[in-house]
């Protein structure tokens, strides 16, 4: 088995004291299913040898060293990189690579297959690496949209026409409303006065404008434009292949929606209400 070793040292302050996080990602192909019965062929990074339409999420603490093996169980070769952080490595069919990454800078990073970008990433191979510097409660949104037929094109070796992209399905962590609320990592649950962090990555190709009911949240990390850190917002665009962290300190109890305010994003398969719509549940 060929091994590719990628070493990145972005700093050495924490290296000697860092915990090493050993984990693996398995590239598997199956389908993502939507509530209207539509299923699209889909490839994801999985935590084990069982396909899940939700990409596995890697959460580490600042200062950790990530020792990651990526195993390609798909029938096509793939590539891997942590966007903006590591170089691209190729993973032949049935092979694996090792990626070592020093997690020195807090933030949300997207790992994906950059081959024929954005085709393979859009067909599912795009996940979140979260480098935390806090022990406060955290929730994770991998937001994405899907157009019927595009994944078939990708798997047939034809790049879809992104200039006519019109997605019909919208997901958070691979799920649509109302099933997003069944994902305990996605649905924000807390108490008044809690400090809650929402880690967001847009692994799709559309801009999504996420709107919070009930609260404003403070932007603490915004890969698109660091000058917006510190802004207090109730509606915030998350651009394709970009990430964001929101700090939420609820001041009133209740159950409040969060959704894409491009309201087409709250539909699914031409039906409403589906898509990117979940709720915050805040107890007194």
Partner 1 sequence: MRKSIYNVQQRRISHWVIVAFLLLAFSGKSQIDTSLTLVSKMDFQAQHELHDGNLVHLMGFTETLGAPILLPSKTLIFEEGDSVHITLWNMSQAASHTIHLHGLDVDQANDGVPHLSFEVAHDDSGHYYFEAPHPGTYLYHCHFTSVLHVQAGMYGLLIVKPKSDPNLTWENGYAFDSENAWLMSELDTNWHHDTIINAPHDPQSTTHPILPYYPQHFLVNGKSEGQLDAFPLVASVGEKVYMRLANIGYYGNEVIFPAGMNAQIISSDGRPLPNVVNSDTVKLFPGERYGVLLEADAEFNDVVQINYVNMNTHQLENTQEIDLTISGFIGVDELGSNDPLVYPNPANQHVKLPLSGTWRVLDLAGRELTQLNAPYFDYDVSELPVGTYILRNVDRPEWSVKLQIQR
Binding site for partner 1 (CB under 8 A): 145, 162-167, 205-209, 211, 213-216, 227, 230-237, 252-257, 260-264, 266-267, 270-274, 279
**Nearer CB in complex with partner 1: 173/206:** 206
**Nearer CB in complex with partner 1: 63/265:** 265
**Nearer CB in complex with partner 1: 65/202:** 202
**Nearer CB in complex with partner 1: 74/242:** 242
Q: What pairing do the DSSP bridges indicate for beta strands 89-91 and 232-233?
A: unpaired
DSSP letter string, 169-181 = EEEETTB-TTGGG
Chain centroid to CA 137:
18
Residues with Cβ within 8 Å of residue 110, at least 6 apart in sequence: 82, 83, 126, 127, 128, 129, 201, 203, 241, 243
Q: At its nearest, how many Å lie between partner 1 and the CB of residue 261?
A: 3
Q: At its nearest, how many Å lie between partner 1 and the CB of residue 249?
A: 12
Cα separation, 256 vs 267, in Å, equals: 18
Q: At its nearest, how many Å lie between partner 1 and the CB of residue 226?
A: 12
Q: Confirm if 260 and 169 have CB atoms less than 8 A apart.
A: no
Which residues are 44's β-sheet partners? 28
**Nearer CB in complex with partner 1: 68/188:** 188
**Nearer CB in complex with partner 1: 93/226:** 226
Q: At its nearest, how many Å lie between partner 1 and the CB of residue 266?
A: 6
First-to-last C-alpha distance (Å) of the chain: 55
Query: Which region holds residue 25: left if phi is over 0, alpha if psi is between -120 and 50, else beta?
Result: beta
Q: At its nearest, how many Å lie between partner 1 and the CB of residue 100?
A: 35
Q: At its nearest, how many Å lie between partner 1 and the CB of residue 212?
A: 9
**C-alpha dihedral sign at 182, 276, 163, 34:** positive
């Amino acid at each position: 088995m060929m091994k590719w070793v990628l070493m990145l040292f972005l700093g050495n302050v924490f290296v000697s004291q860092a915990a090493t996080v050993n984990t693996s990602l398995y590239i598997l192909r199956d389908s993502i299913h939507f509530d209207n019965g539509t299923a699209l062929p889909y490839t994801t990074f999985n935590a084990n040898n069982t396909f899940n339409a939700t990409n596995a999420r890697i959460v580490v603490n600042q200062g950790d060293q990530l020792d990651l093996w990526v195993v390609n169980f798909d029938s096509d070769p793939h590539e891997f990189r942590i966007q903006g952080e590591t170089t691209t490595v190729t993973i032949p069919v049935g092979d694996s690579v090792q990626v070592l990454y020093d997690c020195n800078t807090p933030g949300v990073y997207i790992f994906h297959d950059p081959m024929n970008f954005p085709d393979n990433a859009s067909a599912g191979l795009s996940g979140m690496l979260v480098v935390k510097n806090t022990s406060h409660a955290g929730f994770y949104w991998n937001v994405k949209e899907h157009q019927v037929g595009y994944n078939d094109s990708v798997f047939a070796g034809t790049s879809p026409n992104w200039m006519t992209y019109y997605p019909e399905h919208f997901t958070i962590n691979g799920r649509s409303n109302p099933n997003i609320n069944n994902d305990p990592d996605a649905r924000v649950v807390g108490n008044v006065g809690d400090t809650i962090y929402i880690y967001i990555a847009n692994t799709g190709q559309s801009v999504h404008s996420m709107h919070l009911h009930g609260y404003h949240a403070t932007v603490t990390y915004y890969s698109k434009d660091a000058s917006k850190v510190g802004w207090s917002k109730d509606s915030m665009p998350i651009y394709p292949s970009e990430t964001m962290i929101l700090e939420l300190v609820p001041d009133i109890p209740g159950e409040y929606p969060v959704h894409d305010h491009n309201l087409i994003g709250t539909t699914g398969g031409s039906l409403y209400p589906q898509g990117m719509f979940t709720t915050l549940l805040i107890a007194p």
